[in-house]
Structure 1
C-alpha cells in the first residue's frame, strides 16, 4: 500500500455521465473575463453543493480542455482545497484580462487558466493529476471526473453540448441546479453571476476585510456556547453576532485560510472548547495573533474529507465579518498535553455508531479531550517524534512518552483495542522562509515547547497548528544493514518500491538499488511490489514492465550488485487496481549466480497455476503463474505470483503477494467508534484463496519448502493473517521478533506491520528473519515501506 492515501475515503466519486450528482457539481462557467465588452475582469468556474452535507474538495481540481482537442491537447489544472458547505457555492477564479471594470467576489481558489469565451470543456475532478481523456466516452470512463460541462459545441461533453457563451454571457445551470447529465438540457447562456462561499456577485470596489455594521460591543453568545458539550454545535447554521475573543493563529496559505480566536474568559465546563476557527476561503484575513476581535458569522460544521469519509467535523464560523478592537494582547495560556492530561483510553465504544452527539468525557478518552480543546491553544513539551516529517510539513509526536515505544522511538500498534492515545500530528503556521519545518526522523525530539491552536484534518485527525516549534534534537537514527547470507543460506526478501516507473528520477532507482545491495546484502530472491508498466501512470494501454525492471536491475549493477534476472506476468490492462494507468504488479528478481528459476511455460494474466506432483515433490503447472486470477477476491487488486526456484539442489516455491489496500476504511479518529474496516473483507477473501492453494500444495508434499512474501496491507493480528496461518499451514515470522521491532510501516504515528514473510513448517525452524528499517522512519524515505529478508536452509 503506497502512502495509503487511504485510510478514510473522501466523498465517493461517480463516473461522469453515469448518474446525476447529488451534491458537488459545476454551476457556472465564464471565459470572457477581461475581454472586449466584458464587465467582469476575470474568467471563473463556480461550483455548487446541492446536497445536505458539506463536501470536501481537498486535493480536487477544476480542469479545462479546448473545445476541439487534438492528439497532443492537454488539460489545464487548477487545484482546489477546503470544502463546499451544504447549499453553498465555491468560486474558482481563473485568468484575468486587461478589460472589464468589476472584480470577482473573493474566490475560494485561484488559477491561471485562460478559457475560451465561447467554447470549451470544464471538468470537476477528484484529484489534481491532469486528465488524459480526449473524447466524451473516455472521460465518461474516468472515475475521477465528478462532473463535466462542454459548451459551444465542445467535443467532450455530457449528452449534448451546452450553448455557446460570449464575452458578456456565461453558461449557467440555473437556480435549480438541474443535473440530467445532458449539458444542453441543464445549461443556458445567461449574465454571469459569480458567487463564492462568502456570497456576492462582483463589486468594482470590494472591501477586503468587511466589518460588521452592529455596534462593536460583545454579543450575548460566547465561543463555549457555540462549541457546546458534544462534537456538534448546538447553534449549527445559526448566525451569531460579535462573538469576542483573542486571535491565536492565522492560516495565510492555501484555499482554506482563516484564523483561530479564543475567549480569554472561559467557563467552568471542561467539555466546552473556548477556541474557534473563522473560515475566510482563499482570502488572507487582516488580523494578527494578539488582536482582540468581535466576530460575526454563520456557525457551520465542516467535515474534512466529506461526511461520507466518517471523519469528525470542525465547528467554525463562515461568511465572517469582524472588528479589531485592540492589538498586542496576551494570548490565552495553552493547555499542556502530557501523560497527566491525555487519557490512556482512546475513544468511547459506540458499537460502530456515531459518537458525535454524545456528551464529551475529556478526562476519560483522548478523542474527547482533543475535541474539548478544538480551536484552543495547546502545547507539548520536549515532544518525542514518532513519525517522520513529510512533504506537507507534518510530523507526529507522542504526548505519552512511556507508552508502547518501538526499538527506534516510535509507538507500536499491536492491537485494534489500543490505537495509542498519545499520538498527535504537528504542522506549522510559521512562514517556511523564516522557519523551515524540521526534517525530523523517528526518535528525534522537539525540545522545548511546541504550541498553537488545535485543529482537525482529514488525514491525521487532531493536529497542532504550531505558532511556535520546539528545537529539533537529532536522535541519531541511521538506516539498518542486515548481515550477508551464508553459502548454504537462501536469502528471500520482499520490498514495496512504491509505484516504481521509468519516469521516476534516476535517484529513486539508485537509492532503491543501494538498499537492495548494501542494506539487504543482496538477497538471492527479491519479491518486488508496485512495479508499474513502462508508461507509468499514463493510461495508454501499456502493460509490459520490462523497461521498469531493466532500469532497476541496471541500477543494482551500478551499485555493485549482481545482474539480477526477473520473472513477472503482465496484468490485464487496468484490472489490478493501484494508481490509474500504472498496472502495478509483483515481480521476482533472482541472482542467477546463486539460485535458478524453474520455468514452466504457459503462465499468463488469466491462467491459474495448479499444484502438480513432480518427481515426488510438489510442483507448479506453470512457473511463474498466478494464483486463481479469475477469483472475485482479486477484483481491482494484484494477483499473487508463484514461482519455483532451485537452490543447492533443493526446490523452493515462493508466492509473492500484494493484497488490496485499506482505501475506504474509516480512520482511527473517525466519529464512528470503533471505525469500520470495510476493506478487510476483501483481504479476508484473498487470504482464503492463498491459504487454500498452499494447503493443497502441502497436502501434495508436506515437506515442501514454501516462502510466502509481500505487502499484505494488514496487521499480524488481523483476520486476514489469522486466515493465512490457520491450521499451521504457514508461520508469520514477524511474531518471532521482540514486540518493539514488529513494524514495517508508519502511518498516523503508529509503527505497524503491513509487510510479511511467512514460511511452511519445513523451513520455519531456524529461519533468520529481519525487518530492515531504512525507509518508514525517515523524512527522506525512498519508499514508504521497509523491506524485510529471511535467511533459511531449504531441505530435500
Structure 2
C-alpha cells in the first residue's frame, strides 16, 4: 500500500526471496530419518530449526530454476493426521538444481533453516527450508500428491490472531494466515478464480478464492478497514516461461485449475507458484470516463503521473487520459513530475521541459492549452527516485480559471496567509507549505496556489505525502503489523491541516481544497489528522464504500489519493476515475480523482 517508489520494490518478489539472513538459531544438532511434517511442526518455526537432518523423503512437486531462490519443493505422499503440519518443504540449492525433475522421489539431507525474506527487521514470516542439501533420486515419473484445494470453504473468515505469531500453535481451521501457513511448501490448487490484482511487469498477479469478499462492481476486492482483511487473496507466479504468463486485468478470471507449490515471499506473502496455470478469460474491463463539468462547475483533479520526465514514452497516453477520460479538468494537481533529465543525478532541478511536453501533448490530443505553475525543489531534498527531484505542479485552463501570481515562493520560503479586500489570500502563489519543517524531510513539500473562477477565490494545496515504505506487511508475524511510516505522514497531515485552519480563521467560508497522493487510507489516522475538527473532509467518503479506491496493491483495491474540501464546499460531485490501477498496461499505478463544485 506504498507510493510508486516502494511499490516498484513490491514487484521484485522472486529475486529478493533469498537475499536476507536466516533467523538466529542455536548450534546445529543432528537428526536421522525425520518426515517433512516433523520438520514443519505445528508452529511457524520448525522444531528442528538449525539441525542437520538426513533421510527426508518426498516427491518433487516443483523446480525453480530462476532468481535468487533456486531449488525445488518436495512433499510427503503419506501425510499425518494433523492439519496443522505441512507435508511440503522447499529445498534451497542456491544455484540451478541439476538432476532433479517433477515426479522424482528423492531422499534429502541438509540443515533445517528458518529463512526470513527481507531480513528479520522486516517483520516477515519465515520460510522453513532445507539448505546446503545433498539429495538422491530414488525413482522418477511418480504421481504427485493430490493438490490441496484452497477455496472459499477452506479459508477461514477470521484473518489472524493478534500478537507475535511465531510461537503460537497453528489453528488452520480458525485463522486464514494459519491455514495458508499449514500448507507452506505443499502442492495446492485454486480453481476458477477472479483476478483482483492485474499482471505486473514481473509476471505476478493476484486472485481471490472468495468471490464475494468485499467485491466491487469492477471485479476488485476493496480494502476498507484495518479490521476487515481480504482473506481470499493469493498471489500467483509461474514456474513456466515469462512469455506464457497471461496479461490479466482486474475482473478477469483464471478458469480451470491453477496448481503448484505454495511459497512465501518478501512482498507477496503466500504465493502459489504455478506448475499449471489456469486459462485467462477476459471480462473486458474498460477504462472509465467521467462526465464533463458544467459551465458553472469548477473541476479540480489530482493525478499521480508516476515519475514523468522528458525521456518517457507516456506523454501521449497521459494527455489522452486528461482530455478524454477526465474531460479536461479546469485545475489538475500533478504528482511525481520529475526534473528535465529524470533520474540523471547531475544537480538539475528544473522541470519546465517535462511540464511543457505534457502541455503540448494535451493540446495535440484536443484539449485546452493549459498553463502550469510549480516550484523547483532543492536538489535531492524531496525523496522519490534518486536524481528525479519529483514535485507537485498545477495545470490550469486559462479559458476557465485564472491563477493569482504572487512572487516570492521558492524551495525553502514558507507560504503564509494574509487578507486582501476582506478575503483570505496567500502571501506567495505558488508557495510551499512549511518547507523547512522536519515533517517534510526527504519528502515532497505541499504546493499551494490561489485561483479565481467566475470571480470566486479557491485555494488549492497539492500534496504528496511520504510513502508506506518500511511498514510491515499484512502477513507479518507481528499482528497487527507495525506501520512505522505513519509517523512522518501524521506530521505532514498536521502541517497541512494547520495551514488550512489559518486560511479558515482568516476567512471562515474560504474555498480550500487539499488534494493529492496522501499515501494513506480514507479511514486512517493520517486522514483524521488532516481533516481535524470541521477543517477538511475527504470527499471520497461521499462514494459508496465499495467504490472507494484509487490504487491496487497485493490484490487490495484501496485509497491512497484523496481530495479534501473545506466546509463551504457543500454541493459537489466526486469521481474516482479508474483508468490505471486495475490494468496490466497501466501508464501510472494511481487512478486520478476529480471533484466538481460551484464555488
Gaps of 5+ in 2: 25-30
Which residue of 433, 446, 460 maps to 2:268?
460
For residue 533 of structure 2, give the secondary structure of its aligned residue in structure 1. helix
Shift of residue 307, structure 1, vs aligned partner: 1.3
C-alpha deviations, 1:252-274, integer Å up to 9, x for none? 12232111010000111111100
Shift of residue 57, structure 1, vs aligned partner: 11
- Residue 606 of structure 1: aligned partner: 412
Cα separation, 2, equivalents of 1:742 and 1:84: 36
In structure 2, relative to structure 1, the CA distance for the partners of 1:773 and 1:252 (3 Å cut) is same
In structure 2, relative to structure 1, the CA distance for the partners of 1:355 and 1:778 (3 Å cut) is same
Cα separation, 1, equivalents of 2:476 and 2:361: 43
For residue 698 of structure 1, give the secondary structure of its aligned residue in structure 2. helix
How do residues 30-41 of structure 1 correspond to structure 2 at under 5 angstroms? none
1:3 aligns with 2:4: yes
- Residue 172 of structure 2: aligned partner: 362
- Residue 311 of structure 2: aligned partner: 503
Shift of residue 328, structure 1, vs aligned partner: 1.1
Cα separation, 1, equivalents of 2:470 and 2:340: 28
C-alpha deviations, 1:58-99, integer Å up to 9, x for none? 768xxxxxxxxxxxxxxxxxxxx73365699xxxxxxxxxxx
Which residue of 396, 403, 427 maps to 1:597?
403
- Residue 77 of structure 1: aligned partner: none
- Residue 122 of structure 2: aligned partner: 309
1:376 aligns with 2:181: no
1:732 aligns with 2:535: no
Cα separation, 2, equivalents of 1:791 and 1:83: 48
Which residue of 689, 711, 717 maps to 2:495?
689
How do residues 20-169 of structure 1 correspond to structure 2 at under 5 angstroms? 82-83=18-19, 85=21
Contact 1:57–1:82 (CA under 8 A) maintained in structure 2: no
Which residue of 466, 469, 481 maps to 2:277?
469
Which residue of 218, 221, 230 maps to 2:43?
230
Contact 1:8–1:309 (CA under 8 A) maintained in structure 2: no
Which residue of 562, 566, 569 maps to 1:760?
566
Cα separation, 2, equivalents of 1:57 and 1:734: 32
For residue 497 of structure 1, give the secondary structure of its aligned residue in structure 2. strand
Cα separation, 2, equivalents of 1:283 and 1:389: 26
- Residue 480 of structure 2: aligned partner: 674
Cα separation, 2, equivalents of 1:7 and 1:664: 13
Shift of residue 773, structure 1, vs aligned partner: 0.1
- Residue 721 of structure 1: aligned partner: 527
Contact 2:21–2:119 (CA under 8 A) maintained in structure 1: no
In structure 2, relative to structure 1, the CA distance for the partners of 1:561 and 1:684 (3 Å cut) is same
C-alpha deviations, 1:673-721, integer Å up to 9, x for none? 1100111111111111111111111111111111111000000110110
Which residue of 233, 246, 250 maps to 1:442?
250
CA RMSD of aligned residues (A): 1.9
- Residue 648 of structure 1: aligned partner: 454
- Residue 211 of structure 2: aligned partner: 401
In structure 2, relative to structure 1, the CA distance for the partners of 1:348 and 1:84 (3 Å cut) is closer
For residue 248 of structure 1, give the secondary structure of its aligned residue in structure 2. strand
Gaps of 5+ in 1: 11-55, 61-80, 89-217
How do residues 134-533 of structure 1 correspond to structure 2 at under 5 angstroms? 220-350=33-163, 354-433=164-243, 436-505=244-313, 508-533=314-339
Cα separation, 1, equivalents of 2:148 and 2:10: 32
Cα separation, 2, equivalents of 1:309 and 1:600: 46
Contact 1:7–1:665 (CA under 8 A) maintained in structure 2: no
Shift of residue 564, structure 1, vs aligned partner: 1.0
C-alpha deviations, 1:546-591, integer Å up to 9, x for none? 1111111111112111121110011111111111111111000011
In structure 2, relative to structure 1, the CA distance for the partners of 1:536 and 1:739 (3 Å cut) is same
Contact 1:83–1:302 (CA under 8 A) maintained in structure 2: no
For residue 728 of structure 1, give the secondary structure of its aligned residue in structure 2. coil
281-290 vs 417-426, which moves further: 281-290
C-alpha deviations, 1:576-635, integer Å up to 9, x for none? 111111111100001111111000000001111111001111100000001111111111
Contact 2:69–2:92 (CA under 8 A) maintained in structure 1: yes
- Residue 665 of structure 1: aligned partner: 471
How do residues 767-782 of structure 1 correspond to structure 2 at under 5 angstroms? 767-782=572-587
In structure 2, relative to structure 1, the CA distance for the partners of 1:87 and 1:415 (3 Å cut) is closer
For residue 551 of structure 1, give the secondary structure of its aligned residue in structure 2. helix
Cα separation, 1, equivalents of 2:209 and 2:456: 52
In structure 2, relative to structure 1, the CA distance for the partners of 1:573 and 1:58 (3 Å cut) is farther
TM-score with structure 1 length normalisation? 0.73
Shift of residue 410, structure 1, vs aligned partner: 0.8
In structure 2, relative to structure 1, the CA distance for the partners of 1:782 and 1:9 (3 Å cut) is closer
Contact 1:405–1:411 (CA under 8 A) maintained in structure 2: yes
Cα separation, 2, equivalents of 1:422 and 1:300: 28
Contact 1:646–1:652 (CA under 8 A) maintained in structure 2: yes
Contact 2:417–2:426 (CA under 8 A) maintained in structure 1: yes
Contact 2:14–2:68 (CA under 8 A) maintained in structure 1: no
- Residue 28 of structure 2: aligned partner: none
Shift of residue 376, structure 1, vs aligned partner: 0.1
Which residue of 586, 596, 599 maps to 1:791?
596
Contact 1:570–1:585 (CA under 8 A) maintained in structure 2: yes
- Residue 569 of structure 1: aligned partner: 375
Shift of residue 414, structure 1, vs aligned partner: 0.7
In structure 2, relative to structure 1, the CA distance for the partners of 1:441 and 1:57 (3 Å cut) is closer
For residue 530 of structure 1, give the secondary structure of its aligned residue in structure 2. strand
Cα separation, 1, equivalents of 2:524 and 2:99: 50
Cα separation, 2, equivalents of 1:740 and 1:777: 15
Shift of residue 421, structure 1, vs aligned partner: 1.0
Number of aligned residue pairs: give it: 592
Cα separation, 2, equivalents of 1:738 and 1:673: 29
For residue 491 of structure 1, give the secondary structure of its aligned residue in structure 2. strand
Contact 2:21–2:116 (CA under 8 A) maintained in structure 1: no
